[in-house]
Structure 1
Amino acid sequence: MDNLLDDFKNAWKRPNNALPQIIIINIVIFLVLAVLNIFGKIMGVEVVSNFVYDQFTIPPLFSDFLMRPWTLITYAFAHSLHSIFHILFNMLVLYWFGKLIVEYLGNQKLINLYVMGALAGGLLYLFVYNLIPYYIERSNFPGMVGASAAVYAITVAAATLLPNYTFYLMFLGPVKIKYIAGFYILISFLGTVGGNAGGNIAHLGGAFMGYLYIKQLQSGNDWGLWIGGIMRFFKSLFIKQPKIKVTHKRSNKSSRNSSSKTSSNTGTAQNIADQAEIDAILDKISQSGYESLSKEEKQKLFNASKKS
């Protein structure tokens, strides 16, 4: 409990601390929207609070979506105001499974999964409600909110990476996370024709993205590199980069150049060797589970996750 509280107390003081930051952003947005909703009803200006809420609600029809396309990502940071359990459940699952992703793959991979899971869930939701007759007939609702698609991506990603990792659940005892993820997917599939059909369809889209992301990562392809690039671009707009002072010396110039090239080549070769070793460890986890790793392999994977 102390570690959890410490994570959130220092959420903005520590570098590479995306998990508590994402959770805090979700909570703050929920509270702001809830307060606006209350004052809107009390003061008789619900049109204002509803307008703000709509900016976080992804509509089912393309014609409405084109009027506010940003909702393809903002919907993943808002939750239903009718029940606190919607955000509570999402944030708990995000914390439990997100800790695994951060520990074994690093901070940036968690961000990648959250964003790509939200995009995949939102796109599948739009596809279904605009191309499948059964859902087109049932598209007369305001829209969808919730981080569930992003959370499902992280949950399934963790279960794909570490299928035999065990959580101890109340009343059930030790359960491998691959079974927990499988249960979530089954429940969502059964709900695709229920009252929350749109949300459950988005869950499946996020889950599929989580699986694909890890499989591609194990093959050496990081589908989320563009997300890190966008983040670095916007960060560069607000954070002033230090100027680098370059000096030149004539003495032993050729010797230093030769030494530098040798060092660079050695470093490049070492990086390639390290990446190949990490890929082999991830393959072993996928096939036999995390418990099959030796102590040295676990340490190498942990060290690699801290560099990500």
Structure 2
Amino acid sequence: MNKNLLNELYFKAFRSGNPLFLFIGINILVFLVIGLIAVAEFLSGVGTSTSDWISRQLSMPANLQTLAYKPWTIITYMFLQRDVLHILFNLLWLYWMGMIFLDFLNKRQFIFTYLAGGITGALLYLLAYNTLPAFTGLAQNSILLGSSASVMAVVIATATLVPDYTIRLLLFGTVRLKYLAIAYFVLDIIGMGGGNPGGSIAHIGGAILGFVFIKQLNSGRDLSKILKKRSRLKVVQNKNTTRSETIHADQETIDKILDKISKSGYDSLNKAEKEALFKASKK
């Protein structure tokens, strides 16, 4: 592969400051490292002990006692995939929905949705596998891995924010995001009775987080502010208004625009509102 292309991909993923590309880059990097180790072990005839060990250290166990010794896995599991189709499907959806998400909201809100969606999915998975009769005895040997819960959170958040936003899908043509999200969610409900119930439960947890986050945001409460760095108070004098008042006014304007999108769709915005939303998403 061309060295310049590798440098460009590295810069885009890890130096551009775009969290969407960062998370995609981390997922791909973890997949490639573990995959290449597995191939080297297989060709050398020693099995796949190292690659499997790394996967076990990154995937989240359903057993609470085991999890107590591996608490980091509630975060690392959402960056681990071992199957090509699994990572391809997840990252394509993350890219498509993430681009739309970042057109309307800011980077901090995207980071929160991805991470909190993954954590919520993990917690619902743990709750189900340690309380529901259907999973009695399964928690001991069950693990959770994959970015699906985080991706689901981004998908549902985007669809809740701009439900009438349309995209074109192969075979289906133009589809509104709200219908796509409903179909995605229903498939996961049905999936709980299939071969991967744990994954479907985690997806539902991510979906709930994405929905609640946007509903709270439309109500004026930005849950992602827990990630905001606290800075020292600065007094700024201005003839007309203070900086804090300006920020508050801007937030009120954005909240009104988001509420209008939720009720009437993105196309209902005028040019000034679209520009204000675009500028806010870059802050």
TM-score (norm 1): 0.83
Q: Assess if the C-alpha contact under 8 Å between 1:7 and 1:20 holds in 2.
A: no
Q: Assess if the C-alpha contact under 8 Å between 2:90 and 2:151 holds in 1.
A: yes
> What is the CA–CA distance in structure 1 between the aligned matches of 2:170 and 2:179, rounded to whole Å?
15
User: Structure 1: which 4+ aligned runs deviate by more than 4 Å?
Assistant: 5-10, 12-15
- Structure 1 residues 185-237: Cα deviation after superposition (integer angstroms, max 9, x where no partner): 011110112211100000000000000111111122222222344xx99xxxx
In structure 2, what is the equivalent of residue 11 of structure 1? 12
- 1:185-204 to structure 2, matched below 5 A, reads 185-204=185-204
In structure 2, what is the equivalent of residue 54 of structure 1? 56
RMSD of aligned alpha carbons? 2.3
Amino acid at match of 1:58: M
Query: Is the counterpart of residue 123 in structure 1 residue 123 in structure 2?
Result: yes
SS at match of 1:72: helix
In structure 1, what is the equivalent of residue 79 of structure 2? 77
Structure 1 residues 300, 120: CA separation in 2 closer, same or farther (over 3 Å shift)?
Answer: same
In structure 1, what is the equivalent of residue 262 of structure 2? 286
Q: Assess if the C-alpha contact under 8 Å between 2:63 and 2:142 holds in 1.
A: no
- 266-275 or 196-205, which deviates more: 266-275
In structure 2, what is the equivalent of residue 244 of structure 1? none
Structure 1 residues 78, 138: CA separation in 2 closer, same or farther (over 3 Å shift)?
Answer: same
Query: Is the counterpart of residue 66 in structure 1 residue 68 in structure 2?
Result: yes
SS at match of 2:141: coil
1:271 is displaced (CA, Å) by 1.9
- 172-181 or 85-94, which deviates more: 172-181
In structure 2, what is the equivalent of residue 29 of structure 1? 30
Q: Assess if the C-alpha contact under 8 Å between 2:60 and 2:74 holds in 1.
A: yes
Amino acid at match of 2:217: L
Q: Assess if the C-alpha contact under 8 Å between 2:13 and 2:25 holds in 1.
A: no
TM-score (norm 2): 0.90
Amino acid at match of 1:296: A
Amino acid at match of 1:178: K
- Structure 1 residues 28-72: Cα deviation after superposition (integer angstroms, max 9, x where no partner): 100111122223343425333222111111111111111211110
Query: Is the counterpart of residue 302 in structure 1 residue 262 in structure 2?
Result: no
Query: Whose radius of gyration is greater, 1 or 2?
Result: 1
1:13 is displaced (CA, Å) by 7.2
1:20 is displaced (CA, Å) by 1.2
Q: Assess if the C-alpha contact under 8 Å between 1:101 and 1:109 holds in 2.
A: no
In structure 1, what is the equivalent of residue 99 of structure 2? 99
- Structure 1 residues 252-272: Cα deviation after superposition (integer angstroms, max 9, x where no partner): xxxxx9xx5335943332222
